[in-house]
């Protein structure tokens, strides 16, 4: 079961990215009544949210891996 934990974590990150991008586009479409400028703004906001959220989800994983490598080397 331990080998499935990273797979589920990555699956969750993928769904988070998709939700942010699609949600931003739909919000821009709804706010702008199908005007392209608001859709583009929504896309940019969704991309920024997806990047920041993914970074904050992956950072603890990378920090833990770096600590483990430091213990092996030191």
pLDDT at site 73:
64
CA distance 49 to 20: 6
Tell me what percent of the residues of the chain surpass a pLDDT of 70: 85
| Cα–Cα separations (whole angstroms), residue 28 to 35, 39, 61 | 8, 4, 33
Tell me what percent of the residues of the chain surpass a pLDDT of 90: 53
Are 54 and 16 in contact by the 8 Å Cβ rule? The answer is: yes
If phi > 0 it is left, if psi is from -120 to 50 it is alpha, else beta; for residue 35 that is beta
Q: Which residue has the higher pLDDT, 67 or 26?
A: 26
């Amino acid at each position: 079961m331990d080998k499935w934990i990273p797979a589920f974590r990555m699956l969750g990150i993928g769904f988070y990215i998709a939700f942010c991008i699609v949600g931003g586009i739909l919000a821009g479409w709804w706010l702008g009544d199908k005007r392209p400028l608001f859709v583009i703004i929504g896309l940019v906001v969704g991309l920024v949210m997806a990047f920041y959220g993914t970074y904050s989800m992956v950072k603890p994983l990378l920090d833990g891996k770096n600590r483990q490598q430091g213990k092996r080397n030191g």
